[in-house]
Amino acid sequence: MIQMKNISKIYRIGGETLYALDHASLSIGNGEFVAIVGPSGSGKSTLMNIMGCLDVADEGKYFLDGQEIEDYTEDDLTRIRNFKIGFVFQNFNLLPKNTALENVELPLIYQGVPRRECRARARQALERMGLSERLEHRPSELSGGQQQRVAIARALVTSPSLILADEPTGNLDHKTGVEIMELFRELHGNGNTIVLITHDDGVAKKAERRLRILDGQVTEEAKA
């Protein structure tokens, strides 16, 4: 599904050249659950942004489903972001004035799905997350764990083939973080391809494969 070859992202600040990614290479197959683990500033989020077609590399080649990203048009990339990829973020990124149901409906509205179907699919996604009693609650009325479940429901409601999760347990207490990781394991068991970005080795161990990123370079971590 994903193949990156010698990907570099370069920032020039003053007279200094900084590599957020430095000839990083990796491969992720359909149905895998992969954790990319590394400390703050290692290039994790930059890698995820390129993987999710939110940013482009300065050097190297990125193949998605066997086709080089450079060959996709802007309209193609918009469709990939809207239909193929589900994003889960550390800060949840929920709209504060919208209910849980309305937040989960948004990606479907962007896709042009009829309103009644939007509502039915969003309700089903939230029920799958164990939130059937919280459909009309706004983010401020939900716990951190519940907000992250809403965010995961929003990522899943379009039935994407790839889920990208950037520090999804970073703002949660340990117990809630464990529950969210069990949820990802369950989603993986149902056939979802999941790429999880984290600084936490304990979280990364829940994945079936681990890649380590340091100073913008990616290495495969040997299985225990």
Distances 115 to 94, 125, 127 between C-alpha atoms, Å:
20, 15, 18
Cβ contacts of 169 within 8 Å, gap of 6 or more: 148, 176, 177, 180, 181, 198, 200, 203
Q: Would you kindly state where each structural domain of the chain is located, as residue ranges?
A: 2-220
Extract the runs of DSSP E, i.e. beta strands, from the chain: 2-13, 16-28, 33-37, 59-64, 67-68, 85-89, 162-166, 193-198, 209-214, 217-220
pLDDT given for residue 154 in this prediction: 93
State the architecture of 2-220 in CATH terms: 3-Layer(aba) Sandwich (3.40)
pLDDT given for residue 182 in this prediction: 87
pLDDT given for residue 224 in this prediction: 53
pLDDT given for residue 221 in this prediction: 79
pLDDT given for residue 95 in this prediction: 95
pLDDT given for residue 6 in this prediction: 95
- Residue spans of the chain under pLDDT 50: none
* Two structure tokens written together for 13: 């600040």
Side-chain half-sphere exposure of 166, counting CA atoms within 13 A: 19
